[in-house]
Structure 1
């Protein structure tokens, strides 16, 4: 009995340490000791509805088009979110010599190599586009004497300690460590399926649309905030976003970028259920604004033609087919810019 008590104590201490540490669980994910909770999709994780269990797989086999002959090397910089993060999109997917990606919440101190053809792409999912450009131009790029990435999180010890012991973070880590395996997920599915079938209740982080055939992120639909595809966009707000987009291009060009582009990745709702409410047509209104002075990559019409094949069943991100459509468009534009004179 004493040995069993020591074993139970050791297991309890191990679980406690994993819950408190911000680094152990990501390492366990990396070495595939435990699943990260997204193996069946982010929307499945929020809902655990069995109908939307959609095994994740890496997109492979995409070959970018050959680049036209150019005197300079081509360096593509992307300021992006989860659609272009490492693991989804990489250097190999573009006809470029060098590649740098930074997310919106961080800072890229930058000194451009003027011997290269430098292209900046600003990528944002539709739900967060208004937040990024409503009040200012981009702040991610910082002119400096060298190029390096600065994380947005505080590096002060006490701040990191506060984060480590924050209750919500600990609860998330414990859930990720103990309850994202197939056995635990099956039990969660029974409860979620029962609530959906008999009480018409899904997880608070998702919305079921098209007579419950599709699942989307709640921020795209039911929130009254600016993330929703159905929150009205005033003309004055639209004008401000265009002003800040143009100012972002001017700022980036002042740093030495040869070309500045942007793209809005549609919300899943905007593709599969634009009639869920009064759709605000944000993407079309931005792209068609008469004062817009930044080239863009538009995939909304393509995705609507593709329908359900453009987004994963249990996830808010695109399928490999949807990603390929976007990559083909951005790569065609890159080759066009490289072949012609820099604007």
Structure 2
């Protein structure tokens, strides 16, 4: 009986730690103790609507040309450029490094290489990323001559007690605990029944998602909620703010080129709703207005116009990100700027 209590306590402790700590949660994934709750797409995960349950599959390799220019590609990007979706093998480059928008990193450029910086942002967050600021805009990369240097002084590691308190109060702990406990298919079956009943009986879905008017597509709620001024493609966007966004990108490009980059390229990935339901509400045309602004001095990766021409969806059914077709189109558009 004592052994049972010890084993139960051990299992509960591991699951609790998985909810508190992302590294522990990643270990639980690797050991198959829990399953990936994004395996059917992030939108299905938020809504649990069975008609949008679509297993995420690996995309086939993209044909890559040889790197004749010895290109080193650096990316400041969001979830569209996560390692699960993109890697160095997808581009004709000799070196590849990505940093998230919410992180900063120190790098050392090779002066003999063709150093290219790609600034990638999904449409719904571009106004936040490129907002006018009194300090240097888009300051995610620090360039140094010695790669052993770091930006700023080294901070002392917090005590074990402080780390434990931070784990307990860490952001997203409730969401991770729910993932640890209820991510298996048997629990999804119950969630699907509840979600379907709520939608069919009350025409309500999770507040984190929005269903298209023809009921065929699922979107992140931020894409369509015009009260979210900085996110929705349907919220007002005055000309002076467009000019500020363009100015921010220009200033960042000038600064990074002065620090050693040979080229800075901008990519604004359209919201799923922008492409699949453009007539839902009046669109503010953020992407077009930035890309065609007369004062923009930065080359662009224009997939907005390419996506609009496609006869089939470029976005996954149960996910807010592109499918393999959309991914391939974007990679080819980026690669055209590299050599």
1:270 matched to which residue of 2? 274
Assess if the C-alpha contact under 8 Å between 2:20 and 2:170 holds in 1: no
Secondary structure at the aligned position of 2:338 is classed as: helix
Q: Deviations over 1:167-193 (max 9, x none)?
A: 763322221111111111111000001
Q: Does 1:101 align with 2:61?
A: no
1:341 matched to which residue of 2? none
Tell me how far 1:308 sits from its aligned partner: 5.0
Identify which of 210, 224, 231 aligns with 2:228.
Answer: 224
Identify which of 302, 306, 315 aligns with 2:310.
Answer: 306
CA RMSD, Structure 1 to Structure 2 (Å): 2.1
Q: Distance in 2 between matches of 1:40 and 1:272?
A: 20
Change (3 A) 1:227 1:308: farther
Q: Distance in 2 between matches of 1:144 and 1:291?
A: 30
- Count the aligned residue pairs: 329
Secondary structure at the aligned position of 1:297 is classed as: coil
2:144 matched to which residue of 1? 144
Secondary structure at the aligned position of 2:121 is classed as: strand
1:329 matched to which residue of 2? 333
Change (3 A) 1:207 1:13: same
Q: Does 1:190 align with 2:187?
A: no
Tell me how far 1:81 sits from its aligned partner: 0.8
Assess if the C-alpha contact under 8 Å between 1:163 and 1:169 holds in 2: no
Q: Distance in 2 between matches of 1:111 and 1:143?
A: 6
Q: Does 1:292 align with 2:296?
A: yes
Tell me how far 1:147 sits from its aligned partner: 3.8
Tell me how far 1:26 sits from its aligned partner: 1.4
- Which stretch of structure 1 is more off in the superposition, 174-183 or 316-325? 174-183
Q: Distance in 2 between matches of 1:44 and 1:307?
A: 24
Gap regions ≥5 residues in structure 1 = 336-343
1:338 matched to which residue of 2? none
- Which stretch of structure 1 is more off in the superposition, 4-13 or 301-310? 4-13
Q: Taking structure 1 as the reference length, what is the TM-score of the superposition?
A: 0.89
Assess if the C-alpha contact under 8 Å between 2:17 and 2:25 holds in 1: no
Assess if the C-alpha contact under 8 Å between 1:65 and 1:331 holds in 2: no
Q: Deviations over 1:163-216 (max 9, x none)?
A: 310276332222111111111111100000100010101111100013221100
Tell me how far 1:277 sits from its aligned partner: 1.1
* Structure 1 residue ranges, 4+ long, deviating more than 6 angstroms after superposition: none
Secondary structure at the aligned position of 1:306 is classed as: coil
1:52 matched to which residue of 2? 52
1:339 matched to which residue of 2? none
Secondary structure at the aligned position of 2:229 is classed as: coil
Tell me how far 1:4 sits from its aligned partner: 5.0
Tell me how far 1:106 sits from its aligned partner: 1.1
Change (3 A) 1:298 1:190: same
1:34 matched to which residue of 2? 34
Give the 5 Å matches for 1:1-20. Answer: 4-20=4-20
Q: Distance in 1 between matches of 2:165 and 2:282?
A: 42
